[in-house]
Amino acid sequence: MCTRFRFCASLLFPQAASTCVRNNASKQQERVQGTNDSSVVSKVSAAAQGYFHDDFLKHFVCKVSRRAPLINRGYYVRWKAVDHCLKQFFHATQSCSRRQILSLGAGFDSLYFRLHAEGALGGVTVFEVDFPEVARLILSNPAFYAVFIRSGHYNLIGVDVRKEQEVEVTLSGAGLQWDAPTLVLSEVVLTYMETQWSDAVIGWAAKLLPQSVFVMYEQIHPDDPFGRVMQNHFLKLNSTIHALKQYPDTVTQTQRFIQKGWEKCVCLDMNQFYFDLLLEDERQRVEGLEPFDEFEEWNQKCSHYFILTASKDSVVEVHVLFSLLVSSIPHMTPQWAERPTLVIQPMCGSPSIEAVGMASAVLAPGIILLTGGCGRSGRDTTARVLIKEKDGWKCACVEAHGDKGDLISGAVLFGGRTSPLNPTDSVGCVTFDPGNEQSQSAVKLSFRNMVCTGTGPKPRWRHTSTLICYKDKTFLFVFGGRTEKDPVLADAHFLCLEDKHWTEMTVVGAVPEARHSHSACPYGGGLVIFGGLGKGSRPLCDAFYLRPTSSGFCWETKNLHPPPVPRYSHSAHVINEKLVVVGGVWLQADGVPGVAVINLSTGSCVEIQLDTSSVPWPLMLHSFCCELLDSEGSEMVLIGGGGNCFSFGTHLNLHPITVDLRPVLCNSY
Ligand SMILES: C[S@@+](CC[C@H](N)C(=O)[O-])C[C@H]1O[C@@H](n2cnc3c(N)ncnc32)[C@H](O)[C@@H]1O
Ligand SMILES: *[C@@H]1O[C@H](CO)[C@@H](O)[C@H](O)[C@H]1NC(C)=O
Ligand SMILES: *[C@@H]1O[C@H](CO)[C@@H](O)[C@H](O)[C@H]1NC(C)=O
Ligand SMILES: *[C@@H]1O[C@H](CO)[C@@H](O)[C@H](O)[C@H]1NC(C)=O
Ligand SMILES: *[C@@H]1O[C@H](CO)[C@@H](O)[C@H](O)[C@H]1NC(C)=O
């Protein structure tokens, strides 16, 4: 068996035939194991948390570290997509006597070993290719070495995949049979070479392997805010991602493979893969592994990666790999209005406010209260006010003052969380003293907990609380949200502020389905609910009017046409019978949401693009606050927002910005 090892090793390194075994293994191993910023560490972390099973990856790292749930999920979905294609290929070719996997840029992948250990390989021969230097490093790992020697179906080959002729000679020499059914795998590899080269690889694979299926996983959507952060990350690492400039989405990637000689091609982004190719049981298993609250970041990560399979006229049909009948999250084209566009304006002289998940309220004209949220230094407990002054805006931190003044003149806070395991059901009230007109820096706020009677809602977050007036009383209406146990809620509660009592109210009509991260705006004596993230973490696009009646309230469903693209984590306001929905996260359309304008009388709906060219940084409109400063909509202020961009770093919007909505409000859509 050792003979076989030497044979392979010398054959496989055409440029450095005999150096691989004799090199000082411990030093190289250090380098292998020093890749703690690489995907291997994250895959090891995900495996350790139970996302998938892999006993071999851990041999490539010094110690198993625990990554954030978002990272674990991100690597899980990548691992699962590749695994799905492999298993489907094995199934489709089970009657073939000779089958092969050719993994391009395999790096420190454990594919062969884990498949072998699972007993899934069934005689499939694996060829892993990487640069000669990388292949040599892999060979120097003792754990690897031990397993390697025992295997008869494993080949590690050091060659530059851009060099077609060298590839052909080396792989032939290693025993690859060009006409046997072969799965060619490229997991984040081709994107690191210039597009002419990745195109060439896709081309030679189609030409040299007539019975093959190509499986590729890499990035897309480089130009939206998340995509810009993603690109910058790779630029900083000196590993520019290339092909996505020319092939920015699933459609162009598909066309690319057809142009390079493949006959059929299916390309899904990872949201589509997750929702449409994983069984509900598996999604529930994965979603239950760790406390998780990064929905926006997770969906955005998934919309920036794809899994593609392309086939020749072969034993393996692409549709076999992705046996997808009807998508449950079909791709949509937003109904963009030709004009006008809404123009984002930097806020004159505005302070820097970098935080996500704050709550806001307008306390008085030009005075916005911001509470809670999470900034660069963690959760923020102090409240802030943004104050509009003659020469611009300023931000003041506020101190708690003595308890005085009229309850209703400030703001009421309900719920929220510290960790996702620790939500609250407390009701806080903020009273406000505008102080001296000349110097608004003297704004005084007092905070206190409100002790309420009656049965209140259970602790929650990502709900809405909205003030409505009914029969001369003021109610805080709480709807939806989630708890540490309930992924979505549909219960509604009324807190009478004058009585400090959670009041039973008669509500008839069809209750909106359970959701969180939706919007609720006062409207017509009641309120209107829009969108959110529903059961199974699917975004919603429905609207409901909670209409006051003589005996309570009645839910009425609003029919919207054309249906807007489902979204969540947006903000909304009603201005003159129009529901104006700003930002949010969607999965089913390219780009990011701008402003949806819904005519509440007719249900007609139009999407307006936001012109963000005046903002030099990527503007991420989710987990943000949004307040209107006047009833005409001439000044809407957007504050905070952003989030973790997977492993590319955290991006928080730098400054508040404003939008003048009047161009879309005077249009009779
Ligand atoms: C980001 S890693 C991915 C490794 C592995 N496919 C995975 O998913 O874990 C990219 C790998 O491609 C290899 N690679 C890049 N360009 C290559 C080329 N022209 N020829 C061979 N390997 C290449 C790199 O050495 C590196 O190991
Ligand atoms: C390998 O390198 C280590 C540390 O650099 C050194 O201690 C060791 O003696 C070297 N081994 C051989 C066989 O050269
Ligand atoms: C690896 O992790 C250590 C400790 O966390 C850190 O000091 C080092 O810079 C990291 N190396 C790389 C290459 O990221
Ligand atoms: C990227 O390359 C530049 C220029 O060659 C160099 O100065 C810089 O240190 C490199 N950055 C990293 C992270 O390797
Ligand atoms: C709603 O649409 C109707 C019919 O097109 C139109 O007459 C009305 O002005 C619109 N409402 C608003 C607030 O624009």
Q: Using CA atoms, how far apart are residues 229 and 617, in angstroms rounded to an integer?
A: 9
Q: List the single range of 261-275, 281-295, 373-387, 398-412 with lowest mean pLDDT.
A: 398-412
Report which bound ligand comes closest to the CA of 27.
2
DSSP one-letter string for 42-64: HHHHHHHTTSS--SSGGGGSSS-
The pLDDT-based confidence of 59 (bands split at 50, 70, 90) is confident
Residue 210 confidence (pLDDT) above 50: yes
Which has more pLDDT, 36 or 126? Answer: 126
Which residues are near ligand 2 (CB < 6 Å)? 24, 26-27
pLDDT of residue 20: 24
Around 260, how many Cα atoms within 13 Å sit in the side-chain half-sphere?
24
What average pLDDT does range 378-400 have in this prediction? Answer: 80
Taking the model in full, what pTM does it have? 0.89
Among 31, 32, 33, 37, the mutation site with the greatest number of ligand 3 atoms within 8 A of its Cβ is 37
The Å distance, Cα 32 to ligand 3 centre, comes to 13
pLDDT of residue 436: 57
Report which bound ligand comes closest to the CA of 305.
1
CATH pick for 342-666 out of 3.40.50.720, 2.120.10.80, 3.40.190.150, 3.65.10.10: 2.120.10.80
pLDDT of residue 29: 40
Residue 16 confidence (pLDDT) above 80: no
DSSP one-letter string for 180-200: S-EEEEEES-GGGS-HHHHHH
pLDDT of residue 206: 97
Q: What is the residue with the minimal CA distance to atom 13 of ligand 2?
A: 24
Residue 408 confidence (pLDDT) above 50: no
What average pLDDT does range 302-309 have in this prediction? Answer: 97
pLDDT of residue 69: 96
CATH pick for 3-323 out of 3.40.50.150, 3.10.129.10, 3.30.230.70, 3.40.50.1000: 3.40.50.150
Report which bound ligand comes closest to the CA of 82.
1
Residues 240-277 have pLDDT tens digits of 899 999 999 999 999 999 999 999 999 999 999 999 99
Residues 519-568 have pLDDT tens digits of 999 999 999 999 999 999 999 999 999 999 999 999 999 999 999 999 99
Q: Using CA atoms, how far apart are residues 135 and 126, in angstroms rounded to an integer?
A: 14
pLDDT of residue 409: 62
What average pLDDT does range 110-136 have in this prediction? Answer: 88
Q: What percentage of the chain carries pLDDT values higher than 70?
A: 88
360 within 8 A of 627, measured Cβ to Cβ: yes
Residue 61 confidence (pLDDT) above 90: no
Q: What percentage of the chain carries pLDDT values higher than 90?
A: 68
Strands 182-187 and 212-219: parallel
pLDDT of residue 475: 97
Q: Other C-beta atoms within 10 Å of 447: how many?
A: 18
160 within 8 A of 166, measured Cβ to Cβ: yes
DSSP one-letter string for 351-402: PP--EEEEEEEEEETTEEEEEEEEETTEE--S-EEEEEETTEEEEEE--B--
Where do the structural domains in the chain lie, given as residue ranges?
A: 3-323, 342-666
pLDDT of residue 10: 23
Which has more pLDDT, 531 or 380? Answer: 531
pLDDT of residue 122: 85
Residues 616-666 have pLDDT tens digits of 999 999 999 999 999 899 999 999 999 999 989 999 999 999 999 999 998
The Å distance, Cα 161 to ligand 1 centre, comes to 9
Residue 608 confidence (pLDDT) above 70: yes
Which residues are near ligand 5 (CB < 6 Å)? 576-578, 599, 601-602, 668
Residues 137-180 have pLDDT tens digits of 777 766 665 545 445 688 989 999 999 999 999 999 999 999 99
Which residues are near ligand 1 (CB < 6 Å)? 39, 105-107, 109, 129-131, 134, 160-162, 187-189, 192-193
Among 192, 235, 238, 240, the mutation site with the greatest number of ligand 4 atoms within 8 A of its Cβ is 238
Question: Whole-number mean pLDDT of the chain?
Answer: 87
pLDDT of residue 11: 24
Residues 177-193 have pLDDT tens digits of 999 999 999 999 999 99
pLDDT of residue 145: 54
What average pLDDT does range 446-472 have in this prediction? Answer: 94
pLDDT of residue 511: 97
Q: What is the residue with the minimal CA distance to atom 10 of ligand 2?
A: 24
Report which bound ligand comes closest to the CA of 44.
1
What are the DSSP E strand ranges found in 286-328? 305-311
The pLDDT-based confidence of 34 (bands split at 50, 70, 90) is very low
pLDDT of residue 1: 25
Q: How far is CA 379 from CA 66, 325, 354, 356, 640, in A?
A: 21, 44, 12, 9, 14
